[in-house]
Structure 1
Amino acid sequence: MLIPIPTSAFAAILPLILGSAALPTAADKPAAFFLAGDSTTAVQSTGGGGWGNGFLNTTLQSGATGKNYGHNGATTVSFREGGDWATVLSAVKNAKADYTPYVTIQFGHNDQKTDKNISVAQYSANLAQFVADVRDAGGNPILVTPLSRRQYDSAGKIKENLAEQRTATLAVAKDTGALAVDLNRASTDYLNAIGSADAYTYNLNADDYTHLNEAGSVVFGNMVAWLMDESADADVLSQWTVANAEYVQDFKNGVYISP
């Protein structure tokens, strides 16, 4: 059941947007955002937590709705094999009579682990199939590059250990004509700007540099909305999701947002 949700770095950071012709026009039905991904999208819990609920709970407006289907530990393989993907597609089909469905797709954190045995080529193929499936179901896919980990090197800069997955995601967007939001680049730049001490205040637990607490979810959920609002399709997407204006200025200026 869809439950309506109330509304709510640097100037050079812009998402890579491709295939905007496939998106609906401004006159269409309210948006329904279905979030597919791993624990860096998922609801906050003892085992994970991402940007998803912050996005849904603080940025939607004008009758837009959504649901977070992020799954802790998920890969592009397990999300399909475990039945989560079928659930997302069913939600798209059920919503499209009353809403314009969008599906955000963000994976990579677990796909890159050696014990998962998922090559970058397979990861890319799986993302491309997700895009095709969403379109077949009547929805609009949005590929999201993976949220940066808050892991710093000895020089105080973020370790860009998801670079391959970022590049692959953007390449799939280009090849399929899908819309893409470059959260990895934006989050990396913001975390570099604010430094490790402030970045760690977003940790789910003191020593968890991957998952977000509730405050971090709001910050990075608003970052996703900002990137959508700054896209070539802002005339459509900004009707339904709008980032906090003060947060936007802080993203652009690299200013720490306190929980």
Structure 2
Amino acid sequence: MSLPSWVFFNHFFHSISFSLAPLRSVQFDPVCDPRYDLKITFELVNPTVRSARADSVRSGSVQFTMRLTTLPISALLNLALGCSARSNAYPFQRITTTTTTTSYNGISFVLVGDSTTHSGTLTLNSGGWAEGFCGSLTGGTFCSDRSSNGKTTGTIVSEGFWDLALADVQNETEKGNKLFVTIQFGHNDMKIAPPESMAANLTSFVHQLNNLGANPVLVTALSRRNFNNATGLIADTLGPWANATIDVAHATGSALLPLHEVSIAYLESIGQSASQILNRSPDDRTHLNLAGQFLFGRMVADLMRVFILSDSDPSPFTIDSDLSLALYTGKQYAFEPVYQPGHNATY
């Protein structure tokens, strides 16, 4: 089966700039069983690849292995492969409950970042995805939010929040838990220093965490919701800092979550009007209200499942099939209580 390159790369790797020849091959289980992987092989015109899941680069070609139904463009792939987006090709469709009471204590999380990670909307310039992410975990799963409003990769250290995160790391690793530390910066670093400065600090963070036995997870910055009115696309200014994060992940062999790229794809898919409903206040296109916190928290949780957790890891996440399906098909999700009235300015 041959598919045009846009089927795979339309939006999902929005900031990756290279052209592709048509896809060479697609291997897919005919019954659309989500336990199987979709294997896509394609040739690159320019064999320089910026991706979290490039398994190999040889002779100008690269093979990606990704789970079919955990990609934001899964609906396009499902359609192209003859599988309905609401068939059993989506792994959660057979699950009716959105929560579970099962406790799982083998995996722990510490979250480090700025206000676009940090929980809460009680103060100005606040409202990130942490609360939604931690809220997606099963009971008993440790999740510590050590992010803070207004922080850069420099001030997170100088103001003591990094030390608090390291204390959590030490406690959890001493328990024998498999600990993941997410690190997302860029919104404030871009105001004071070039991407290279942030990259140097991220590299230091990674080395410190590795030395403590933790698993650093670099996260590209959540997109702002500023649109170019002429094109209907995100007017992105965070790209160089997202690319710096990707570079550090590749240089250090660290895990990477492409939140910047995926959030852009989602926002552009639902459009400007629907995107602004997620604002903390009508004119705040950076921070999130409760709807936005839980929507993007689920996005990070699902990306963690795709890119980080191995098949052998029992999932620490609860299931929200409707929200995950909306995210992966680029549809607006109606948080009815939160969407009243209008932008639902503050919490």
Instruction: Specify the TM-score bucket, using the shorter chain as the normaliser.
Output: 0.7 to 0.9
| Aligned with 1:147 (options 202, 213, 222) | 222
Identity %: 34
Alignment counterpart, residue 16 of structure 1, candidates 47, 52, 64 = 52
Secondary structure of 2:284's counterpart equals: coil
Q: Deviation of residue 62 (structure 1)?
A: 6.2
Aligned position for 2:32: none
Report the Cα offset of residue 120 of structure 1. Answer: 1.2
Counterpart check, 1:197 vs 2:273: yes
Match of 1:156 in 2: 232
User: Would you say 1:89 and 2:159 are equivalent positions?
Assistant: no
Q: Is the CA contact 1:96–1:139 (under 8 Å) kept in the aligned structure 2?
A: yes
Indicate if the aligned counterparts of 1:29 and 1:100 stay in contact, CA closer than 8 A.
no
The answer as to 2:262 corresponding to 1:226 is no
Query: In the alignment, does 2:127 pair up with 1:52?
Result: no
For residues 226 and 332 of structure 2, the distance between their equivalents in structure 1, rounded to whole angstroms, comes to 17
Aligned pair partner of 2:246 in 170, 179, 183: 170
Counterpart secondary structure, 2:233: coil
> Runs of 5+ in structure 2 lacking a partner?
1-6, 14-50, 56-103, 336-347
Structure number, greater radius of gyration: 2
Contact 2:112 2:181 in 1 (8 A): yes
Query: 2:204 corresponds to which letter in structure 1?
Result: Q
The answer on 1:247 being equivalent to 2:323 is yes
Measure the CA separation in 2 of the matches of 1:142 and 1:241: 17
- Relative to the length of structure 2, the TM-score reads 0.65
What corresponds to 1:25 in structure 2? none
Match of 1:71 among 142, 148, 151: 148
Runs of 4+ in 1 over 6 A off after TM superposition: none
Structure 1 position 111 matched with structure 2 position 189? yes
Amino acid corresponding to residue 127 of structure 2 in structure 1 = G
Q: Which letter maps to 2:306? A: E
Letter in 2 for 1:180: L
Q: Counterparts in 2 of 1:120-131, with a 5 A limit?
A: 120-131=195-206
TM norm structure 1: 0.85
User: Displacement, 1:138?
Assistant: 2.2
Give per-residue Cα distances to partners, 1:84-109, cap 9 Å, x unaligned. Answer: 10110011001213222211000000
Q: Deviations over 1:84-142 (max 9, x none)?
A: 101100110012132222110000000001xx2x2211111111111111112221100
Relative to structure 1, the CA distance from residue 134 to residue 225 in structure 2 (aligned partners, 3 Å threshold; closer, same or farther) is same
Whole-angstrom CA distance in 2 between matches of 1:235 and 1:56: 21
Aligned length: 238
Contact 2:255 2:308 in 1 (8 A): no
Q: Cα gap change, 1:62/1:17 in structure 2, threshold over 3 Å: closer, same or farther?
A: farther
1:135 pairs with 2:210: yes
Are the aligned partners of 2:110 and 2:165 in contact in 1 as well (CA < 8 Å)?
yes
- Higher relative helix content: 1
**Counterpart-to-counterpart distance in 1, 2:326 and 2:185:** 26
Q: Contact 2:105 / 2:140 at 8 angstroms: preserved in 1?
A: no
1:11 offset after TM fit, Å? 7.4
Q: Conserved in 2, the CA contact under 8 Å of 1:30 and 1:62?
A: no
Cα displacement (A) at 1:156:
1.6
User: 1:102–1:140: 8 Å Cα contact kept in structure 2?
Assistant: yes
- Give ranges in structure 1 of 5+ residues lacking alignment: 1-9, 20-27
Equivalent in 283, 291, 297 of residue 207 of structure 1: 283
The structural deviation recorded for 1:16 is 1.7
* Distance of 1:207 and 1:35 partners within structure 2: 27
